[in-house]
Amino acid sequence: PRREFATDLAGLGWDELEARIRACDACGLCKRRKQAVPGVGDRQADWLFVGEGPGAEEDERGEPFVGQAGRLLDNMLGTIDLKRGEDVYIANAVKCRPPNNRTPEAAELAACFPYLSRQIALIKPRLIVALGRPAAQALLNQEIKIGAVRGKLFSHASIPVVVTYHPAYLLRNMADKAKAWEDLCFARSTMRRLREG
């Protein structure tokens, strides 16, 4: 079960929230970050994409998904006619870079979750797309395997969630790209249904 650390985030606006993220020392990841990476995009987006955590380039630049995986994410968004910054918000499950890009630990995901949770409350997206296992596990609060949950609709805080492969994984596993594209089409048709109400 998830432990909520920063329970006093309720009521915080964007500026205060981002300041809290940048100054956060709730887990050990703060020690080696250059900077925390809160997120980027339309703060009233219908779509929220959630990745794993910043890599080297993101840590350097302070923006999520600006490296190689980010270029693939931009292509993935493009296949369903979405653009970074337009109708999309992009955040990560952990806001600070794990050393050597290792997978964030459960305790780190739990320590950081209240920030994502507050971002979700502020954005109120219609649909959340979890990219990869750590993001999906943080949002669904359960152990999952991507292969078993992709193509299904879940929810977090009453907001629909779909899960697909992380772009960095797809760069190493080309064979699964077609499945990710199917998942994006599923996400798009889900969004259409949600908009039709």
* Residue with smaller CB distance to ligand URA, 93 or 159: 93
Residues in region 80-119 near ligand URA by CB under 6 A = 92
> Residue 138: what residue type?
A
**Residue 118 buriedness (CB in 10 A; 0-12 / 13-18 / 19+):** buried
Q: Does 168 bind ligand URA (CB under 6 A)?
A: yes
Which amino acid does the sequence have at 145? K
Q: Which of 41, 51, 114, 125 contacts ligand URA by CB under 6 A?
A: 51
Binding span for ligand URA by CB under 6 A among 5-13, 20-28, 54-62, 149-157:
54-62
- Least separation in angstroms between residue 167's CB and ligand URA is 7
Q: Is 35 exposed, middle or buried (0-12, 13-18, 19+ CB in 10 A)?
A: middle
Residues binding ligand URA: what is the number (CB under 6 A)?
13
Question: CA-to-CA distance for 17 and 21, rounded, in angstroms?
Answer: 6
**Alpha helices, H only, the chain:** 14-22, 56-61, 68-79, 106-123, 133-140, 146-149, 167-172, 177-196
Indicate whether 183 belongs to the interface with ligand URA (CB under 6 A).
Answer: no
Q: Is 164 in the site for ligand URA (CB under 6 A)?
A: no
Q: Which residue is nearest to ligand URA (CB)?
A: 51
Residue 59 contacts ligand URA per CB under 6 A: no
Q: What are phi and psi of 5, to 5 degrees?
A: -90, -65
Residues that bind ligand URA (CB under 6 A): 51-55, 58, 64-65, 67, 69-70, 92, 168
